[in-house]
Chains A and B, each alone.
Chain A
C-alpha cells in the first residue's frame, strides 16, 4: 500500500466511524445503522505484512499490554536497592507468572553472576566439604515442580488498615513458577551430611548474603536447588544461575544466587531471622521462625486496577488462592462483605503449595458489592479475617498477613480497597 492510499483508507475509516457514531444516535429514530468498519472495511493487518520471523529473537508482550508490568512503591523503603516491587496480578490469569513481570525483592540489588563464575559450597557437618560448578549441578538427577513464592511481607502494609489501592500492591509480592533443579537432599547426600545435624544455613553470593537457617527436616523434604523456571534459565533478578526453592515457606528463605550451604547443629540466628522476618505480637514479644505461608486468596478482577467496564450482566469474578500447607480444596466468594458466601469453581484441582485459579461466573445487577474471597486448604484451615488475625497478633506483626481482602465495587464498576465491619 502506498502512503497515499493509506492516507485515503485512514480518512475513509475516520469518516465511517463518525457516520457510525451519528447513526448510533439516530438508530432509535429508525435510521439504518452502518456496519462496524472494523468488519466492513479491509484493515491493514488483513492486507499487508506483519513482522518477519527474524524481527524478535526473544519477544516482549505487545505494546497494548503495558499495564501488565512490575510496579514499585517508592515510599515503602529507603532506597530502590534493598526494596520490593509487585507482580501485576490484577492483569494476569491462570496460575503461571510470566518471569518478566514476576516480582523482585533484593537486599543489595540484582547481581549479575555468570555460570562460569558460579560456585556452590557445601560445608560444615559433612564427610567431605564440596564445591560444585554450575555444570556439576546439571549432572545430578533433576525434578520439576510448580510452587508459589510469596514474600513474608506480602499484604504487610495492610495490617493497620486499607492502605494501597490495588491487588498488585496489596497482594503482588508473589509469583508462581515451574522450577527445574536438583533436590537439596541429593546434594547433601553427595557431601555426606552428618545425620545428627539439625540445621542448614544457606546464603547467597550477593553483598546482603541473605543468610537463613532451615531445619534439616525441611531441607531433606522438598527443597530444590533450582536453575530453570518456567522452562528457561532463572532471570538475573530471580537468582541466576541458581536459587533455592523452599515450597510453602516465606519467600525470604528462597536464597537467590545461592553460593553456600552449611550443615550445622544450631540456627545461626542471622539478621534475616532476628531483626527481620520475626513477627511482633501485641505484648511486644515476637514470633520467630514463622516459616510457613498460611492459606490465602484474593480477587484479582474486579479489583481497583481492574474495574468493571462492561456494565450489568454476565460478570466473571476471578482470583487466586494458595497455601503453604498443601493444596487448596475450596474457595468461597462473598459479594456482600461476608454475610453470604458462594463456593467458586477451581480452574483445576488445587496443586501442592502452588497457586490455584478460581472463577465465580455470575450476573451483576449493577449495584454495589463488597467482594471477598476465602480460601480453604487440605488441612481444613480456613483463611481468617483481618479481625481474627489482629485478635491473636495485634497490629505490628509486619509479616504473614493472610487476611480476607475486601473490594468495594461501586455502581460505576470502579473498585476500592476497603475494610468492613
Chain B
C-alpha cells in the first residue's frame, strides 16, 4: 500500500540515475555489485592509494585512522577501534571505501579494486589467509569479530528510569573539592591578540 503524491512535483528518476547514486551496501549484501578481488591485488592497490595515510599494513600513520589491530582492547582504558577490532559488518568497509575513499579522491576505485582492498584489510587484521579472494558470492560468509558487540540504545532503561526524579536543592553533599583542572593539561588554543 502506498500514499499518493498530491502535488505532482518532481519527475521520475531514471534507472541510470538511481544506479549512479544508489551505492549503499547493507549487512546482508544488498547493494553489492558483481566483482572480486584478491589479497595480493589489494596489497598493491592499497599501497598505491591508501598506504600514504593508513600505512603499508593498514596500521595507520600519525593521526590517520588505524584500519587494523586493536584486538581485544575495547574494554581497555584506551580502546583501539579498527575494522578488525570494532566494525560489526564487512559491508560497511566495502561501502565506505567505495563511496568515500581515498580521502580527497573519492569514487575513483572500480568494484574489483574495492573487493581487493577489502580483502587486504581483512588480511591485515589476520581474518583471512593471503590467498583469499573476496567476491560478491562469498562476501556474506565473512563474519566480523565484533558483530555481536553492539546493543541498541538502552538509555530509557539504564538511565532515564533512574534520572527522572526531583533533584536535591540544599545540603546535597559535604565537602566539595576540585579534583581536576583543565589548565594542568594546558591544551586549549590560545587566543591570538592580533
Contacts and interface: CB of A to CB of B under 8 A. Distances in A.
Contacts of B150: 274, 278, 285-288
Given A201-B24, A291-B153, A294-B155, A163 B10 contact: no
Contacts of A408: 178, 181
Contacts of A271: 92, 95-96, 100
A15 interface: no
Interface in A211-229: 211
Interface size class of B (residues with CB under 8 A): 35 or more
Contacts of A285: 74, 149-151
Contacts, number: 269
B138 interface: no
A244 B42 CA distance: 36
Contacts of B185: 161-163
Interface in B145-194: 149-155, 158-160, 163-183, 185, 187-189, 191
Contact of B5 (A128, A131, A208, A289): A128
A287 B183 contact: no
Interface stretch (B32-40, B81-89, B116-124, B128-136): B81-89
A214 B175 CA distance: 46
Question: Chain A: interface secondary structure?
Answer: loop
Contacts of B87: 274-275
A74 B151 CA distance: 33
Contact of B107 (A207, A274, A376): A207
Interface in B55-74: 62-65, 74
Interface in B10-46: 10-13, 17-18, 21-22, 24-28, 30
Nearest to A421: B177
Contacts of A259: 21
Given A286-B151, A416-B181, A340 B62 contact: no
A307 to B, nearest CB: 13
Nearest to A126: B2
Nearest to A343: B169
A19 interface: no
Nearest to B106: A207
Most chain B CB neighbours (cut-off 10 Å) among A194, A266, A287, A395: A287
Contacts of A43: none
A338 B172 contact: yes
Nearest to B169: A341
Nearest to A123: B18
B12 A128 contact: yes
Contact of B75 (A78, A129, A169, A282): A282
Interface string A124-136: 1011111111001
Contact of B2 (A67, A192, A380, A421): A192
Interface of B: 1-7, 9-13, 17-18, 21-22, 24-28, 30, 62-65, 74-75, 77-79, 81, 83, 86-89, 91-92, 95-96, 99-100, 103-104, 106-107, 149-155, 158-160, 163-183, 185, 187-189, 191
Given A209-B99, A382-B167, 5 more contacts: A126-B2, A270-B92, A338-B176, A418-B178, A418-B182
22 contacts: A75-B187, A78-B64, A123-B22, A127-B5, A132-B9, A136-B9, A161-B180, A166-B188, A195-B2, A207-B106, A275-B92, A286-B151, A287-B152, A288-B151, A288-B153, A294-B155, A336-B176, A376-B167, A381-B163, A396-B79, A421-B175, A421-B179
